[in-house]
Every structure is written in structure tokens, then in C-alpha cells.
């Protein structure tokens, strides 16, 4: 090769944009972006995510004070809303649009264009055959034309040849699939902008009405106002729960269901309904799901003079599968302030060796382990406090004791007493409104339809030429071409062969392979 | 039959099918090894080595020792029969498990694993009805046996009632699709791996594994299987999303199981794109198919056992 220097024309700004666009929309870039998307998704399954488990995220960061904040800053605890994850999928979708739009244009034109005419030498094609027919050339072509058009092939008829093409739905399916992905992304965005989701814990006998203040946690999209919440309310009448008692999978939940009374709007008729794990309650597009449950032990606290300072059920949060649950009781008005940290076990271990741990999720032998604290619980600092945590930094421990139901503990410093009088159950509900989900479902159905079309329909062309040779015999050439190797094409040609030669079998026809072998 | 008898019968059937499949594996291995020996005998003939392509393979097999060839074919046939037997016995085991538990036998990892082994064998046998895939037997029976081995040793759980979250007809739809995909993905990973071996041999001008088709044919088969499995996997994920919407209040929540299902989906999507990208069609696409299977396996074992997920129904 001569060592000539290749001189490229100057690119210019427009040229650079065009070049970048070409690179971005190329298949190779799409491939690399797909791999990046797969890799970028992995950390979200390894690190706890704020969206799913904010408590574990906080624990993680607290446990590793050095790497925790770094990972946090890099977005490893909010992978799916992090800028780098968004960058990957947005680039992928831009690449997708840039690829699909031109292809749509090409496909649109192709749908109205006739198939390409027969190549000069049909027998050079990988699938072809040649045979002599008794009928005239015109007759052969007419038969072929009728057969192909009956089978809904697209035709181009010339003087002594027929060209046909089929399988356009393959590309239609391909485009449909990719457009459906865009539709799903739009649906997700719609749900994110207009939808909302909240969690609330409701004790048996208590009620809930759908306003922001009633939620324990609530998150809404940019265009979701509190005023858009539909004004329904419900009361948890009864919560039924059963656990597996047999040896196999002992303690696994067998059933939980919440019986509620609800009103669509204030003053409307009350309706009774049972909410189960797979059967949510739907009110005005919002769905009420049963997502968890637990225990709320009842405590009575008295001061030194015997006056009741606290008399209520307290929601305890389960910590393990056997519902070892933790919670706190705060008496901020006593002087000094009084607080209790508690562990509730529905079934206490018979030997105390394992500590305050429940051995069965059902309430066979309920007990609480209480730790009493006295001092300043830090409410005056103004910082919001969790109702499930007691800040004991400025408090001193008075004592620890285990209580069975009905037992009272007189505090050792004489500041009063606490009694464990019983327990109730609570259920936690997730209430969600997602206006995008039907569109997402439509997108998914269309995507699968498109996939099936594009993966199972084969685009292929066939050509027939028929000429009369010098001896007056009709010579018929058949050929087929498929973009992707098609196992059906030889069979299709055989069929076509028997149709145009009007023979029940095609023994007289010789395929190209046989002819080649004889050479 | 009483519950104890049903349990004993189901377990006995699973063990019996493992024994049968072990014999099938030995038969396939003999067939495989006899093919290798045949190539070894022929290899020193120099002028035949120069020709390339499929014709060369044909010439050589004509010069091979006929006894080895017959042994190979016969033991491959025995392997196929034993695989059918193992499949039927395992099917009985899975059905009995379902009768014992009084529900579909997909409530925990043990049950899912024995059904997945059934899925692997089922997809293979289904293909074997339409084309000659005896050469693939060894690479199907081994993963099926490994799955069953893990199931009976590590994952074994007594039958119990379904946890409330699984009490839905979506269990049947979602999980059955996933099980068929398990079979198809495993099969495709086997053929993709074999394609890599063959293509390596072909690059070096050797004939590669005997009786195993050419790299190109293996890649086509891999594509066919994945073209069938990809829409089905899409369906399994969508069905899971519909179920999740019904049970947990959101159709997608990036739970680790969902995340890995998504990763698997993206890798197989990349595979399909690689098939139509210049420079990626060959070995690279095979590697992508294997990576997809790896993601599926991580999702199955890794997420169920090591990661705290909403999908922790393993029972282990």
C-alpha cells in the first residue's frame, strides 16, 4: 500500500454534532449502554436503598463512618434516582429514539414500495431450483402469481418474472417493541409526577382518614398536591392472623387479613370489606394494601402519688420473623422526664439464656422487657424525634425488668410504676395512587406483542422466472432469500414449485444442492 | 395415600430420577469420549487436516474406527432414553409434592429447584423431538443433576402451606413462565459455551468436539432458544409486576429480585442486539448469552439466600 496521507475535510460544528449523533444512535453504542445499564443496576441490589429501607441505610452509614458518607454522596443508597443511573437510561432512550425514528421512515416507505425485481441469475442464490414445466411460461407465472397473492405476499410482476416479499410485520413488531418501551418510560414518569404513596400504621379499633397529617410516611410527585387526596376514611375493626404450627416452616405466616369499615367520603354509607395481602381495597383509583402487622402492648404508668400519667397502647415495631418487637413509652410531663425502652415478645423463650427473643410469632406467652430511664429526653432541642426511639444521651437508667401480662413494676427509685396490662394488634397499610400504571401495562402488552412479531416472523423474498427455451420447453427458475437463515424457506420453495408446475409431487424438480453434487 | 406416604413417594421419585439421570450422564459422557478418541485416531493424517469447513469433518469421520462410532451413537441413544425416563420420574416426584402440599409445588426453593430441573430437561426433550440434539445431552443432564443435588441436600424443606403473599393465581402464571425460562436459559448457556469451544477449535484449524455441530450452527440454536425465551422472560417479569402491584402496591420497586430480573432482561436484550451488530455476532454474543444465564443464577441463588429481599420465600 502506498503511504498516502488521508486528508479529511474539516468537520465543523454541524459535522461534529452529526458525528456525535451517528455514534450515539449506532448499534454498538446501544449495546454498550445496555451493558452499562445492567452494571449500573447492580449496586442497588447490594446496598440498602432509601426507597425500600431507609432505616437500614442509616444503620449502614452509622456503622461505617468513613465509607458510608462517600457511598452516600455517590448515590449508592439511591441508585435508581441517582444522576449517573438516569444518565445511562436517558442516553439509552435517546439512542433508541435516534435509531427507531429513521427506521420507521424507511419501513413506512418499504411498506408501500414493490419488492425488488428478480436478479439476473437466480440460481446463484443460496436457495434456488430449476426445473422444466409442461405448462407455458405465462401459465406458470400466472399460477405463481395467484398462489403468492392468495398467501398475501407483496408482488412485483414483470414480463417473464414474479418477485414477491413477505414478513414486513417483523420490522413492524421491532418498531412496536421499541416504541412501547418509550411508552413504559412515559408511564413511569407520569406515575412519578402525578402519583403518591403513603404508609400508615393503624391499631385495631382505630381509624384513618386520607389526609397528609395522618400518614407516618408520605411521598408524592411534583404535581401531587395534598388537596388531590380523595377524602376516604376507614376503621380497622379486626385483624386476623395465623401462623404455621407444624414442624415444617414453623412460624411462617399462614394468613393475615384486616376487616375494615370504610367511607368513600365523609358522611357516606359505611361499607365493610376484608383487605388481604393479595386483595387490596380500591377507592377512587387509590389502592389500600395490607403490607405488615405487629403488636401494640398496653401500658399504664403512674407517678409517685399513684396518679395515672399514661394509659394507652404503644405500637412496637417487629425486628424479626418471630415478632420480637421494640418500642418506647415517653412521659415528657413528669419531672424529671421518664422514658421506657421496651422489647415485646409474643412468645417468650422458656429458658432465659437467649435473652429477650421471641420463639414464635403468635401470642402464646407474651412478655415485655422494660428498661426505665430518667432525665432529659432532649425534646426541647426542637429537633424532630422518632416515636420509636428514646434519646438516652442525657438520661440515667433506673432499672431493667421482665413483665408478664398483668404485672406491675414499681420503679426502684420510687418515682412511680408501670404496668403491662395487655396488647392489641396493628396493621400497616400502604396507600398508593399511580395514574401511570394502566399505561405501563399497555406498554408492556404492546412490547411483548412486538417482540413475538419480530422474533418469529421471517422476512423473505422469492422470485420466479419462466422462459421458453429454443426447444420450446418452459424452464422455470425459483429462488428465495431470507435476511436470517430460515429453515422454512426450502419447504416454501418446494411448495411453490409444486404449485407452478401443477404436480402433486415434485420428483422432477432438482434442488440446487443436488445439482451441485452431481457436477 | 396418607401425607407421610405422599411425602415418601415424592422424595423417592426425586432420588430415583437422580439415579436415572446419573446413568444418562454416564452414557452421554461415554458417547462424548468415544467421539474424542475417534478424532484422536484420525488426527495424524496430514493431508486431510488442510481442508477446512464441514467437508473436512465428514472425510475424517469416514476414516474413523467404526466400533467407536457405533458405541458413541448407541450410548447417546441410551442416554436419551434414560433422560426421558428421568424426566417422567421427576415429573411424578413434582406432581406428588404438589398433591402432598395441596397446592402448586412452587412454594419454596426446594420445590422451585426440582421443577426447574424438570424445566431444563423438558425444554431439551422438546427440542429433541424436532431435531437431533443428542450431542447436547451431557451438557443438559449435568446442570439438571446439579440443580437436583442442591435441592435435596441444601434446599430441602418439608411441605407447608403457602405464606399469604404467595396465595394468588399469579403464582402459577409468573412462576411457571420463570421455570420454562430457567430451562431455556440453561440450554442456551450450554450451547453458547459449546459454540465458544467449537469456535476456538475452528480458529486453530482443528475439528473441535466430535458430533457437536459447528460453532455457527450452535450459535443459531442458541439464538433460536433465546428468541423463544426472551419474550417469555419479558412476560414473566410483567406478570411479576402485575402481581407486585396487587400485593405490595407498586408494580416496580427495585427489590433485589426485581433488580436482577431486570439485569437478566437487559443482558438478554443486549444479546439480541449483539446478534445483529457487526463484530459481535460470534463469540462475543455467546459470552453475552452466558452472562445472561449467570445473572439469572445470581438472581435465583444469590438473591434468595444472601440478600434480604421481599422475595425471600426460600424456606431455607
pLDDT tens, residue by residue, A324-379:
899 999 988 887 888 999 999 998 876 665 568 888 888 888 999 999 998 888 87
Rounded distance between C-alpha atoms, residue B250 and residue A431, angstroms: 10
CA distance B193 to A295: 53
Alpha helices by DSSP H, listed for A64-208, are 67-73, 83-112, 137-150, 169-194
Record: contact A45-B303, CB cut-off 8 A: yes
Give the mean pLDDT of A435-461.
Answer: 92
C-alpha cell belonging to residue B265: 432482561
A246 touches chain B (CB under 8 A): yes
Per-residue pLDDT at A509: 44
Cβ atoms B261, B299 nearer than 8 A: yes
Nearest-by-CA chain A residue for B281: A28
Residue B35 confidence (pLDDT): 67
Judged by CB atoms closer than 8 Å, whether chains meet at B164 and A448 is answered as no
B211: pLDDT strictly greater than 70 = yes
Q: Residue A241: which of A297, A290, A299 has the closest Cα?
A: A290
- Tell me whether residues A34 and B307 touch, CB distance under 8 A: no
**pLDDT of A9 over the 80 cut:** no
Residue of A nearest to B288 (CA): A35
User: Which residues, at least 6 apart from B40, have a Cβ–Cβ distance to it below 8 Å?
Assistant: none
A80 touches chain B (CB under 8 A): yes
Mean pLDDT confidence for B39-65: 40
Chain A partners within 8 Å of B277 (Cβ): 27-28, 31
Mean pLDDT of A473-493: 80
**Residues of A with Cβ-Cβ distance to B280 under 8 angstroms:** 28, 31
> What is the interface size between A and B, counted as CB pairs within 8 Å?
130
For residue range A237-261, list pLDDT tens digits in order: 999 988 888 776 777 778 888 999 9
Local structure of residue A377 (DSSP, 8 states): -
Q: How far apart are CA B292 and CA B192, in angstroms?
A: 11
Cβ-based contacts of A249 with chain B (< 8 Å): 108, 157-158, 160, 315
- Average pLDDT along chain A: 85
Residues of B in contact with A255 (CB under 8 A): 164
pLDDT at A175 over 80: yes
| Helix, strand, or coil (residue A518) | helix
The vertex-A306 CA angle with A300 and A307, nearest 5°, equals: 70
Asked whether residue B205 carries a pLDDT value surpassing 60, the answer given is yes
pLDDT given at position B64: 43
Query: Pick from B113, B294, B279: which is nearest to B192 by CA?
Result: B294
User: Which of A484-488, B49-53, B137-141 reaches the highest mean pLDDT?
Assistant: B137-141
**C-alpha cell read off for B189:** 448457556
What pLDDT shows up at residue B67?
Answer: 59
B263, closest residue in chain A (CA to CA): A38
* Chain B touched by A309 (CB under 8 Å): no
pLDDT of A471: 84
Which of A86, A249, A517 has the highest number of chain B CBs within 10 A, making it the mutation to test binding with B?
A249
- Per DSSP, the three-state class of A105 is helix
Question: Is A35 near chain B, with CB under 8 Å?
Answer: yes
> With contacts defined as CB-CB under 8 Å, which chain B residues touch A292?
none
C-alpha A383: how far from chain center: 36
**Complete DSSP assignment for A293-335:** EEEEEEEEEEETTS-EEEEEE---EE-STT--EEEEEEETTSS
Tell me the pLDDT band of A5, cut-offs 50, 70 and 90: low
The predicted pLDDT at position B298 comes to 92
Residue A336 C-alpha cell reads as 424529671
Q: How far is CA A131 from CA A136, A476, A507, in A?
A: 13, 5, 10
Q: What is the pLDDT of residue A13?
A: 78
The predicted model gives B157-170 an average pLDDT of 75
Confidence band for B71, pLDDT divided at 50, 70 and 90 = confident
More confident of the two residues B39 and B280: B280
- Cβ of A213 under 8 Å from any chain B Cβ? no
Does the structure show a pLDDT above 70 at A516? no
Chain B residue numbers with beta carbons less than 8 Å from the beta carbon of A254 are: 161, 163-164
Q: Which of B149, B160, B153, B147 is nearest to B108 (CA)?
A: B160
Per-residue model confidence as pLDDT tens digits over A210-247: 888 888 878 777 777 666 788 899 999 999 988 888 77
Count of residues making up chain B: 316
With a threshold of 0.90, does the pTM exceed it? no
Residue A2 in this model has a pLDDT that exceeds 60:
no
Q: Which of B289, B298, B290 is nearest to B257 (CA)?
A: B298
Given a cut of 50, whether residue A299 has pLDDT beyond it is yes
pLDDT of residue B309: 62
pLDDT digit string (tens) for A12-63? Answer: 778 888 888 877 778 888 999 999 999 999 998 888 888 777 777 888 888 8
Range name among A169-178, A296-305, B67-76, B276-285 with the lowest pLDDT average: B67-76
CA A54 – CA A474 distance, rounded (Å): 81
Q: Give the pLDDT score at A139.
A: 87
A 10 A CB-CB count for B271 gives 28
Beta carbons of A355 and A324 less than 8 angstroms apart = no
Considering only CB atoms, A451 lies closest to which of B230, B245, B246, namely B230
Closest CA to A414 of A399, A435, A424, A402: A399
Interface test with B, best of A36, A43, A45, A484 (most B CBs within 10 A): A45
Contacts of B170 in chain A (CB under 8 A): 278
Residue A79 near chain B (CB below 8 Å) = yes
pLDDT confidence of residue A179: 96
Q: Is the peptide bond before A336 cis (omega within 30 degrees of 0)?
A: yes
User: What pLDDT score does A176 carry?
Assistant: 96
**Which chain B positions have a beta carbon within 8 Å of A444's beta carbon?**
234, 238, 241
Tens digit of pLDDT for each residue in B78-125?
999 999 999 999 999 999 998 888 888 888 888 999 999 999 999 999
Q: Quick one: average pLDDT of B212-234? A: 92
- The DSSP element (H or E) to which B294 belongs, if any, is helix B283-297
Alpha-carbon gap: A271 to the closest alpha carbon of chain B (Å): 21
pLDDT of B283 strictly over 70:
yes
Tell me whether residues B254 and A197 touch, CB distance under 8 A.
no
Question: Residue B204: pLDDT above 80?
Answer: yes
Q: Is B11 on the interface with A (CB under 8 A)?
A: no
Report, as an integer, the average pLDDT of A456-474.
87
Say which DSSP state A264 is in.
S
Residue B36: the pLDDT is: 58
Q: Select the more confidently predicted residue: A434 or A503.
A: A434
Q: Kindly give, in sequence order, each residue whose CB lies less than 8 Å from that of residue A309, ignoring residues fewer than 6 positions away.
A: A301, A302, A303, A331, A333, A334, A416
ipTM tops 0.90: no
> Which helix (H) or strand (E) is B127 found in, with range?
helix B109-130
- Name the percent of chain B lying above pLDDT 70: 85
A96-142 pLDDT, tens digit each? 999 899 999 999 998 888 888 888 888 888 888 888 888 888 888 88
pLDDT at res. B45 = 39
Q: What percent of chain A has a predicted confidence (pLDDT) above 70?
A: 91
Amino acid at each position: 500500500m502506498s503511504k498516502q496521507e488521508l486528508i479529511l475535510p474539516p468537520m465543523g460544528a454541524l459535522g461534529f454534532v452529526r458525528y456525535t449523533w451517528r455514534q450515539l444512535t449506532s448499534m454498538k453504542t446501544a449495546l454498550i449502554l445496555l451493558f452499562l445499564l445492567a452494571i449500573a443496576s447492580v449496586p442497588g441490589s447490594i446496598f440498602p436503598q432509601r426507597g425500600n429501607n431507609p432505616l437500614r441505610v442509616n444503620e449502614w452509614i452509622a456503622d461505617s463512618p468513613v465509607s458510608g458518607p462517600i457511598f452516600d454522596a455517590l448515590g449508592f443508597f439511591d441508585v435508581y434516582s441517582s444522576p449517573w443511573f438516569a444518565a445511562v437510561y436517558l442516553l439509552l432512550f435517546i439512542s433508541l429514539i435516534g435509531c427507531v425514528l429513521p427506521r420507521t421512515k424507511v419501513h413506512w416507505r418499504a411498506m408501500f414500495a414493490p419488492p425488488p425485481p428478480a436478479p439476473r441469475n437466480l440460481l446463484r442464490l443460496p436457495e434456488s431450483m430449476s426445473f422444466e414445466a409442461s405448462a407455458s411460461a405465462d401459465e406458470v407465472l400466472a399460477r405463481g402469481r395467484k398462489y403468492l397473492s392468495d398467501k398475501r405476499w407483496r408482488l412485483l410482476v414483470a414480463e417473464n418474472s414474479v418477485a414477491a416479499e413477505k414478513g414486513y410485520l417483523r420490522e413492524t413488531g421491532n418498531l412496536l417493541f421499541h416504541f412501547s418501551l418509550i411508552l413504559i418510560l412515559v408511564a413511569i414518569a407520569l406515575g412519578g409526577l402525578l402519583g403518591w404513596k403513603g404508609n400508615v400504621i393503624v391499631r385495631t379499633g382505630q381509624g384513618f382518614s386520607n389526609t397528609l397529617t395522618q400518614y407516618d410516611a408520605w411521598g408524592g410527585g411534583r404535581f401531587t398536591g395534598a388537596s388531590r387526596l380523595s377524602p376516604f376514611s376507614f376503621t380497622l375493626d379486626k385483624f386476623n392472623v395465623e401462623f404455621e404450627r407444624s414442624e415444617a416452616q414453623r412460624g411462617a405466616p399462614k394468613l393475615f387479613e384486616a376487616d375494615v369499615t370504610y367511607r368513600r367520603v365523609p358522611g357516606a354509607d359505611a361499607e365493610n370489606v376484608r383487605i388481604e395481602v393479595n386483595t387490596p381495597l380500591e377507592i377512587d383509583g387509590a389502592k389500600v394494601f395490607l403490607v405488615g402487622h405487629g403488636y401494640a402492648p398496653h401500658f399504664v404508668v403512674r407517678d409517685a402519688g399513684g396518679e395515672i400519667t399514661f394509659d394507652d397502647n404503644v405500637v412496637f415495631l417487629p425486628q424479626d420473623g418471630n415478632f420480637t418487637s421494640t418500642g418506647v413509652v415517653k412521659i415528657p410531663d413528669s419531672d424529671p422526664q421518664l422514658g421506657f425502652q421496651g422489647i415485646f415478645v409474643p412468645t417468650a423463650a422458656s429458658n432465659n439464656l437467649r435473652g429477650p427473643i421471641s420463639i414464635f410469632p403468635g401470642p402464646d406467652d407474651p412478655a415485655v422487657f422494660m428498661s426505665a430511664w430518667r432525665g432529659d429526653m432532649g425534646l426541647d432541642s426542637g429537633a424532630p424525634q422518632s416515636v420509636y426511639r428514646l434519646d438516652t444521651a442525657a438520661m440515667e437508667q433506673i432499672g431493667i425488668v421482665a413483665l408478664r401480662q398483668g404485672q406491675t413494676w414499681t420503679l426502684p427509685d420510687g418515682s412511680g410504676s408501670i404496668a403491662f396490662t395487655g396488647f392489641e394488634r396493628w396493621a400497616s397499610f400502604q396507600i398508593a395512587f399511580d395514574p401511570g400504571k394502566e399505561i405501563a401495562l399497555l406498554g408492556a402488552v404492546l412490547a411483548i406483542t412486538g417482540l413475538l412479531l419480530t422474533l418469529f416472523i421471517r422476512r423473505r423474498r422469492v422470485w420466479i422466472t419462466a422462459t421458453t427455451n429454443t426447444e420450446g420447453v418452459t424452464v422455470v427458475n425459483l429462488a428465495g432469500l431470507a435476511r436470517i437463515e430460515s429453515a422454512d424457506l426450502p419447504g416454501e420453495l418446494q411448495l411453490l414449485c409444486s404449485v407452478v408446475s401443477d404436480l402433486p409431487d415434485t420428483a422432477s424438480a432438482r434442488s440446487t444442492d443436488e445439482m451441485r453434487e452431481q457436477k | 395415600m396418607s401425607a407421610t406416604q405422599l411425602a415418601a413417594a415424592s422424595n423417592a421419585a426425586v432420588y430415583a430420577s437422580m439415579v436415572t439421570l446419573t446413568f444418562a450422564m454416564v452414557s452421554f459422557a461415554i458417547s462424548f469420549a468415544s467421539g474424542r478418541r475417534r478424532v484422536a485416531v484420525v488426527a495424524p493424517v496430514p493431508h486431510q487436516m488442510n481442508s477446512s469447513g464441514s467437508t473436512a469433518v465428514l472425510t475424517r469421520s469416514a476414516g474413523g474406527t467404526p466400533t467407536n462410532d457405533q458405541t458413541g451413537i448407541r450410548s447417546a441413544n441410551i442416554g436419551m432414553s434414560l433422560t426421558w425416563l428421568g424426566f417422567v420420574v421427576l415429573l411424578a416426584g413434582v406432581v406428588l409434592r404438589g398433591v402432598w402440599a395441596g397446592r402448586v409445588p412452587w412454594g419454596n426453593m426446594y420445590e422451585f429447584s426440582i421443577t426447574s430441573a424438570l424445566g431444563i430437561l423438558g425444554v431439551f426433550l422438546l427440542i429433541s423431538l424436532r431435531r437431533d440434539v443428542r450431542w447436547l445431552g451431557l451438557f443438559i443432564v449435568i446442570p439438571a443433576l446439579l440443580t437436583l443435588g442442591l435441592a435435596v441436600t441444601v434446599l430441602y424443606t418439608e411441605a407447608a402451606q403457602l405464606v399469604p403473599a404467595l396465595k394468588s393465581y399469579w403464582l402459577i402464571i409468573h412462576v411457571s413462565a420463570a421455570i420454562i425460562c430457567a430451562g431455556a436459559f440453561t440450554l442456551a448457556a450450554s450451547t453458547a459455551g459449546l459454540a465458544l469451544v467449537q469456535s476456538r477449535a475452528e480458529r486453530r484449524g482443528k475439528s473441535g468436539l466430535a458430533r457437536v455441530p459447528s460453532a455457527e450452527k450452535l450459535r443459531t440454536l442458541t439464538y433460536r432458544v433465546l428468541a423463544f425465551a426472551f419474550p417469555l422472560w419479558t412476560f414473566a417479569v410483567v406478570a411479576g409486576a402485575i402481581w407486585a402491584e396487587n400485593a405490595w402496591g407498586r408494580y416496580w420497586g427495585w427489590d433485589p429480585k426485581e433488580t436482577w430480573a431486570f439485569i437478566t432482561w437487559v443482558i438478554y436484550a443486549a444479546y439480541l442486539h449483539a446478534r445483529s451488530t457487526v463484530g459481535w455476532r460470534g463469540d462475543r454474543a455467546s459470552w453475552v448469552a452466558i452472562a445472561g444465564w449467570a445473572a439469572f443464577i445470581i438472581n435465583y441463588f444469590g438473591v434468595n439466600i444472601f440478600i434480604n429481599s421481599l422475595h425471600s420465600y426460600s424456606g431455607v
